[in-house]
Structures are given as structure tokens and as C-alpha cells.
Amino acid sequence: MRKTLKFLTLIITMILFSCGGNDKKEGISSDKKEPVKEEVKVPASERINLNNKGVGTITSVDLGLVVDQDMAAHGKEVYDRMCTACHKADKKFIGPSPKGILQRRTPEWVMNMILDPERMVKEDPLAKDLLMEFNGSPMANQNLTKEEARAVLEYFRTL
């Protein structure tokens, strides 16, 4: 009998709970869950995602087994000219350091970020998080050609 009572109570509680759950709008309940997730979030700059190719015209990049030194040298020249106002290899500056970037990002993601940062921060969740991590400072589109962006990527492999 007591067992039955307990069982009934449980059932009623469950019904009540589910009622409560039903009353709540889904959006609100999912909102409530979000902060729990974010607490464990690592900063976007430290997050590793080697599947995400980003959003843009670059869908595949073939990295050679060894670094193409000529291409990397050209990439360094472009990088020094176009990127160093915001990026430094040895420290976090206006934007993140490109050092070790290919351990955290796919080559496609890097090139899409260089070639179309406006679209990336709108459509790629990781790029969007990066923008907020870096105080909303937008990555400037320096209008590099695909070849220049590819060379910069090669240079990043040497850092």
C-alpha cells in the first residue's frame, strides 16, 4: 500500500513536473541550459576545431608534406605588409597570434577568414565568438588575392 502510495506520488509529481515543463516555453528552458554550457567553454582563440572549414570560397587546401620555403617567404612579405598592424607572432595583439594556428584550425578556415572576414563573422560561429573575444574589433579585409592568402598560410606553418 505504501509502495503504491509512493508510486502514485511519484507519478503525480512527474505529471506535475511535466506539466510545469509543458507550461514553460521551449526557448526559455533552452536559455536556462545555455549558461551551464558556456561555463565550460574555452576561449574561441584556444578552441580546437579541425573539421570546420569556415564559410567562403575556399573548400579545400592541399598542404604539402614539407613547407614550400619560397611560398612561405612570399607569405611573410605579404603578412608583414598587410597583417602586422593587428597580428604579432609572439603575442596576442589586436587579434590573435597566428602561431600554431594549424593545430587549432583547418587551412580552409584560415584562408576563408583572411579572404572574407565580414562573411565569416556573420556566418561562422567560431569566427563570431572570436570577434567578441577580441572586443568586437573587426578583422579588416585587406583584399589579398587567393595566392597571397595561400602564401600567408604557408608562412604560418613556419611559425
Partner 1 sequence: MNKICKYVLGIATLIFITNCGNNSNTNNSGAMASSKAEKVYVAPGEHDEYYAFFSGGYSGNITVAGLPSGRMLKEIPVFSQFPTSGYGYSEETKPMLNTSFGFVPWDDSHHPDISQTNGELDGRWIFINGNNTPRIARISLETFETEEIIELPNSAGNHASSFITENTEYIVAGTRFAVPNPQRDMPINEMKGEFKGPLSFVSIAENGRMNLDFQLNMPGFNYDLAHPGRDKSHGWFFFTSYNTEEANTLMEVNASQNDKDYVAAVNWQKIAEYVKNGGGKKVDATYAHNVYDHKTHMATSTMKEGVTMVDPREVEDAVFYIPIPKSPHGCDVDPTGQYIVGSGKLSTDLSVYSFDKMITAIENKDFVDESYGIPVLSYENTLAGVVKQPGLGPLHTEFDDKGNAYTTFFISSEVVKWSLETFEVLDRAPTFYSVGHLMIPGGNSRKPFGKYLVAMNKITKDRYLPTGPELEHSAQLYDISGDKMELLYDFPTHGEPHYAAGIRADIIKEKSKKYYELSENEHPYAAKSEAEAKVTRNGNEVHVSMTTIRSHFAPDNIEGVKVGDKVYFHITNLEQDFDVPHGFSIIGANTSEILVMPGQTKTIVWEPKKEGVWPFYCTDFCSALHQEMQGYVRVSGRNSNTPLKYTLDE
Contacting positions for partner 1 (CB under 8 A):
80-82, 84-86, 93-94, 135-138, 140-143
- Under 8 Å between Cβ of 77 and 150: no
Least CB distance to partner 1 at residue 80 (A) = 6
Nearer to partner 1, 124 or 148 (CB): 148
Is 63 or 85 the residue whose CB approaches partner 1 more closely?
Answer: 85
| Cβ at position 100, least distance to partner 1 in Å | 21
Q: Which is nearer to partner 1, 50 or 85 (CB)?
A: 85
| 3-state SS, residue 107 | helix
Residue 24 DSSP one-character state? S
Residues 9, 129: Cα–Cα separation, whole Å: 46
| Minimum CB–partner distance for residue 117 and partner 1 (Å) | 9
Q: CB under 8 Å to 60, separation ≥6 — which residues? A: 53, 108
Residue 33 to residue 59: CA distance in whole angstroms: 34
Q: 58 or 114: whose CB is closer to partner 1?
A: 114
The least CB distance from residue 134 to partner 1, in Å, is 10
Report the residue number, 93 or 102, with the smaller CB distance to partner 1.
Answer: 93
Per-residue CA distances from 1 to 6, 9, 12, 76, 128 (Å): 9, 12, 16, 80, 59
What is the Cβ-side half-sphere exposure of residue 119, based on CA atoms within 13 angstroms?
12
CB of 135 to partner 1, least distance (A): 6
